[in-house]
Every structure is written in C-alpha cells, then in structure tokens.
C-alpha cells in the first residue's frame, strides 16, 4: 500500500445549520489519481475545499504531509501551501494580465527568485502544457482547452507534490477533455505528484482514476480502486458506471 499523503478523520462541514459532510474519514495515497464522485449536492466539492482550507470544518481533522493543515499553525500551513497546486473549475485566470504573468503569480508570492529565473520557470511550465506560443496572450484570447492548460501550468509552477482539480473537463469537448486527461497523467509522472480530482465525466474517470471515493448525502458510500468500484454491488455506484449518471 502506498504512503498516505492526506488523512481525514471524522470531518464535519456545515453551511449554517445544513450539514454537508457528516463524519468523513478517509486517506489519499501518494502517486495515485483519486477521483471524488457523487450526485449533485453530495458534498464532493465541499470535501475538496475542506481539504485545501477554503472551507473551515465544524469538527474533525485534516492532515496533509503528516501535520494538520490549519492556518492557525502558520509555519506548517505556509510550507504546505508551497507543496500544493490547485486547478479550479473555471481556471480562475486573471483576465487583465498575460498567461505568463498568471503562471508567475505563485512564484512571485511564495519564492524570492529574481525576475529572470521566474521567467525561465514560467516558460518551462508553459512548454510542459504545450503553450509556449501563448505566453503573452490574454486569457480571453485562448480557447477553453487552452485556458485550462494555462491554469494547469500555474498550478504546477512550484512543482507541487499534490495537485487538486475541480471538474477539469467541464465545458470541454471529448477530444480536448481526453488530451487534458493525458496531460495530467504525464505531469503526474514527470513531477511525481499525487492528484485529487472532482469529476463526473465517465470517460475521464476510466482514463485517469486509480482510486474512487463515492459520496452520497455527505457520507462515504464507497472507497476503493476503480476495478473494485465497477464490481462493488452498491446500486448507486453501479448505476453511475453503467449509465454515467446518478
């Protein structure tokens, strides 16, 4: 069994009085692509946000790299942030600056590297995602797939050990989605990353998933390998893998 890189114990997350995640306990493992599945409103995006600190849990514990991932522990929190990349669903690129300037943001915020070295790293990351030619274009000048790749270049700017992706294929055509999946797997191997993805795209899941976490009404319905998920005899999970819907 690979080493656990994220440990979640008894996690409860609420929005006001509404409980979204109810006593979640699970582990994510090194060098695997773990896909979080579930119907609309089941808590999958909330789980992702809870892990990376965008949502504060009402109770429970989230540990990344062996220590609590909590802004209250400023030293570990800031250190861990440098080891994490996030690809948001809409890319979250700043529209008023170039692609290269967008990719440079994590390097400018978390390192003291000089401008020339930052520019070299930016161009290397853009080359890795096939966007050398687009460095000085604005996000509005790119296609949807190119914007996702630009956001991915920014997410890997610091060579993260952990990459989180929220619906990376949303809004993409099947060919562009497949190319993005292949790129994520290539970068996983090149950078020795662990990857956590929220998605409902059945084709993508078959291409990239090592492990499946299936949520239902804020609880874990299934946790295991992709092969196990397809033969688990849990009706909701089986229905998804037969029809691609919940």
| pLDDT above 60 (res 138) | yes
Residue 104 — pLDDT band, cuts 50, 70, 90? very high
Strand order in the sheet with 18-29: 18-29, 4-15, 59-64, 67-68
Rounded to whole angstroms, the Cα distance separating 137 from 129 reads 15
| pLDDT above 90 (res 141) | yes
| pLDDT above 90 (res 161) | yes
| C-alpha neighbours within 13 Å on the C-beta side of residue 234 | 18
Residue 102 — pLDDT band, cuts 50, 70, 90? very high
Percent helix, percent strand, percent coil in the chain, to nearest 5: 40, 25, 35
Cβ-contact 42, 213 below 8 angstroms: no
Residue 71 — pLDDT band, cuts 50, 70, 90? low
pLDDT of 21:
92
Q: Dump pLDDT digits (tens) for 105-119.
A: 999 988 889 999 999
Strand 84-87 to 162-166 pairing = parallel
User: C-alpha angle with apex 99: 96 to 105, nearest 5 degrees?
Assistant: 85
Q: Would you list the domain boundaries of the chain? A: 91-159
Nearest to 88, CA basis, from 35, 158, 165, 34: 165
| pLDDT above 80 (res 89) | no
Q: What is the mean pLDDT of residues 143-164?
A: 92
The percent of residues in the chain predicted with pLDDT above 90, rounded, is: 46
Beta-carbon count within 10 A of 93 CB: 23
């Amino acid at each position: 069994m690979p080493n656990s890189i994220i440990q979640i114990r008894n996690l409860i997350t609420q929005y006001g009085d509404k409980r979204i995640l109810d006593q979640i306990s699970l582990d994510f493992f090194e060098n695997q692509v773990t896909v979080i599945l579930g119907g609309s409103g089941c808590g999958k995006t909330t789980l992702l946000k809870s892990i990376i600190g965008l949502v504060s849990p009402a109770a429970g514990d989230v540990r990344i790299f062996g220590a609590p991932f909590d802004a209250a522990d400023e030293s570990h929190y800031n250190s861990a942030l440098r080891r994490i990349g996030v690809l948001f669903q809409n890319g979250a690129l700043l529209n008023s600056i170039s692609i290269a300037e967008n990719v440079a943001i994590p390097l400018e915020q978390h390192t003291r590297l000089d401008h020339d070295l930052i520019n070299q790293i930016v161009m290397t990351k853009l080359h890795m995602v096939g966007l050398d030619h687009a460095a000085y274009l604005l996000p509005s000048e790119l296609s949807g797939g190119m914007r996702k790749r630009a956001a991915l270049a920014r997410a890997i700017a610091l060579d993260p050990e952990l990459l989180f992706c929220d619906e990376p294929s949303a809004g993409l055509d099947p060919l562009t989605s497949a190319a993005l999946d292949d790129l994520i797997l290539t970068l996983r191997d090149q950078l020795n990353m662990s990857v956590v993805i929220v998605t409902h795209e059945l084709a993508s899941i078959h291409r990239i998933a090592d492990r499946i976490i299936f949520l239902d009404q804020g609880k874990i319905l299934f946790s295991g390998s992709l092969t196990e998920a397809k033969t688990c005899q849990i009706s909701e999970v089986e229905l998804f893998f037969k029809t691609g819907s919940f």
